[in-house]
Amino acid sequence: MASFGDCLATGADLVSAAERAVLQATASLGGPPDLVCFFVCGADPEDVTLAGERVMALAGGAVTIGCSSTGVIGGGRGIEEQSAVSVWAARLPEVDITPFRLDVIPEGDHLAVVGMHEPTPADRAALLLVNPYEFPAQSFVERSADALGGLPIVGGLADGLRGQESVRLFFDGEVADCGAIGLLLGGPGIVGTVVSQGCRPVGPAMAVTKAEGNVILELAGTSAYEKLENLVNALPPEDQELAAMGLHIGIAMDEYADRHERGDFLVRSVVGADPELGALTIGDMVDVGQTVRFQVRDQSTAGGDLLERLQLFDDDTSGRTAAALLFSCSGRGTAMFSTADHDVRSVRQALGADAVGGFFAAGEIGPVAGRNHVHSFTACMIAFES
């Protein structure tokens, strides 16, 4: 039977915090852990490195994986931009764990990602932690569905309080400042994954009738800018304010659905508008014929969407979740809610999972409609059963 433990420890002495976190997280397992995942936030990259090395040294023979971050999740709490270490540990007798490390090498006129293992039929999901400053996370993740046979990938983009120079990846006793690391996870102990994009649609669904790359020129045969302008003017005042703060667009994942509602879209930001060209620039490629719908996000919508996704997942999986790894956007936490604890508390309460560890990511990785994507402002989770 699987068992889990987690702990979040704070303090200026990161090595001491790391020791407390790993010892407490593993204390109740009833034996040595098979897997230790950990996340470190600290102002000094050298201190972050030492803390990560200490966790790995105390993990015994467990597979260890972790990264630096600007905030960590564990022990029912979220801590942002403070010295802290979160450790999540598990005994997983019914889970097969295959570690991998990805690197980028030149190959002709392009770059190739090497190091990925081919999934086996028993593999249920993959965990992926990435240095986003020099690894092509977006293209790798977007192409992974075909390369990995549709295997779901969940994880996050690492960061640090000093940006690029402070990113660290920890992997089975080693420390790296580049590439990506991950695990293939197989067997019945993997329950599944959840992705909450936290948006709600406004206005009607529309077909893209003219586009170039990530620029939408026409929606339903009319200037895309004009469509957006008319839509915003017709919104109630509270939604106009949300649109002014940051408008998003959802790309329908199933063109054959009769209706496209919340949860049916891959949500991307509207990053630019050109009234002269009548064009909108969005954060992803879009093709003529695809269906899109504008989206807004606020605290209530994001919180409600997460609870809805978790409750549906709990119902679909017959309440089997005992523990989870959670990757929340650094734009959530106190930037979106009244507390940094919001997402982890929601997961624990909705699923009855006591051991929930993770970090606030610079981008989150998770599947939508059977394809993996890098997201922003989302909460992505992988669940385990006891």
Q: Mind listing the pLDDT tens digit for each residue in 138-177?
A: 999 988 878 888 999 999 999 999 999 999 999 999 999 9
pLDDT score of 111 more than 90: no
Where does the pLDDT of residue 11 fall: very low under 50, low under 70, confident under 90, or very high at 90 and above?
Answer: very high
Residue 55 and residue 173 in one domain: yes
Residue 117 and residue 232 in one domain: no
Residue 292 and residue 217 in one domain: yes
Total-model pTM = 0.93
Give pLDDT, residue 245: 84
Structural domain of 221:
200-296
Residue 18 and residue 146 in one domain: yes
pLDDT tens-place string over residues 74-89:
999 999 999 999 999 9
Residue 247 and residue 173 in one domain: no
Mean pLDDT taken over the chain: 94
Residue 177 and residue 70 in one domain: yes
Domain count for the chain: 2
Query: In angstroms, rounded to a whole number, what is the distance separating the alpha carbons of residues 368 and 30?
Result: 36
* Sequential DSSP letters for 196-253: E---EE-S--EEEEEEETTEEEEETTEEHHHHHHHHHHHS-HHHHHHHHH--EEEEES
pLDDT tens-place string over residues 295-304:
998 899 999 9
Residue 217 and residue 248 in one domain: yes
pLDDT tens-place string over residues 227-279:
999 999 999 999 999 888 889 999 998 665 555 455 678 999 999 999 999 99
Query: In angstroms, rounded to a whole number, what is the distance separating the alpha carbons of residues 144 and 277?
Result: 35
Residue 289 and residue 214 in one domain: yes
Last residue of a domain, one of 279, 296, 313: 296
Radius of gyration of the chain (CA): 21
141: CB partners within 8 A, 6+ apart: 128, 153, 365, 372, 373, 374
Give helix 14-27 / helix 45-58 axis angle, nearest 10°. 30
Give pLDDT, residue 261: 54
Residue 163 and residue 68 in one domain: yes
Six token digits for residue 314 = 């709990």
**Measured CA distances, 334 to 73, 98, 340, 342 (Å):** 13, 35, 5, 9
Residue 240 and residue 308 in one domain: no
Last residue of a domain, one of 296, 325, 348: 296
- The length of the chain is 386
Where does the pLDDT of residue 46 fall: very low under 50, low under 70, confident under 90, or very high at 90 and above?
Answer: very high
Query: In angstroms, rounded to a whole number, what is the distance separating the alpha carbons of residues 40 and 59?
Result: 15
Residue 116 and residue 220 in one domain: no
Last residue of a domain, one of 262, 279, 296: 296
The enclosing H or E element of 129 equals strand 123-130
Residue 154 and residue 105 in one domain: yes
Residue 86's SS3 state is strand
Share of residues in the chain with pLDDT > 70 (%)? 97
